Amino acid sequence: QKEVEQNSGPLSVPEGAIASLNCTYSDRGSQSFFWYRQYSGKSPELIMSIYSNGDKEDGRFTAQLNKASQYVSLLIRDSQPSDSATYLCAVIFSGTYKYIFGTGTRLKVLA
């Protein structure tokens, strides 16, 4: 099992729809979870951090964490073409404090 797994996509959604991006991780003791957005040719940009079970909302973005099931998700409401990017999930593994990235999910929002 990979340490942090994401579906590579592409995930295609129409403009205005909800995009749902998922991430699973192998370390049950992990405490910190992050979502980065990376546009083609640019560096990763932190868009969400989540540390507790449940939902965390920031504008059109909602991060959801379920530690018992070891998954974290990112919902993007009212998706826009400008949301088209690769979304990287990152987890800090307990004990080692290693920052582990998933391989990223490519999102395409169709106008």
Partner 1 sequence: DTEVTQTPKHLVMGMTNKKSLKCEQHMGHRAMYWYKQKAKKPPELMFVYSYEKLSINESVPSRFSPECPNSSLLNLHLHALQPEDSALYLCASSQGAQSLRPIYFGEGSWLTVV
Residue keyed to tokens 């205005």: 16
Site for partner 1 in 38-97 (CB under 8 A): 42-46, 49, 51, 88, 90, 92, 97
Residue keyed to tokens 């929002």: 109
Q: Are 83 and 74 a contacting pair, CB within 8 Å? A: no
Among 25, 104, 107, 109, binds partner 1 (CB under 8 A): 104
Question: Count of residues binding partner 1 (CB under 8 A)?
Answer: 20
The three-point CA angle 18-21-23 to 5° equals 160
Residues at the site binding partner 1, with contacts judged by CB under 8 A: 31-32, 34, 36, 42-46, 49, 51, 88, 90, 92, 97, 99, 101-104
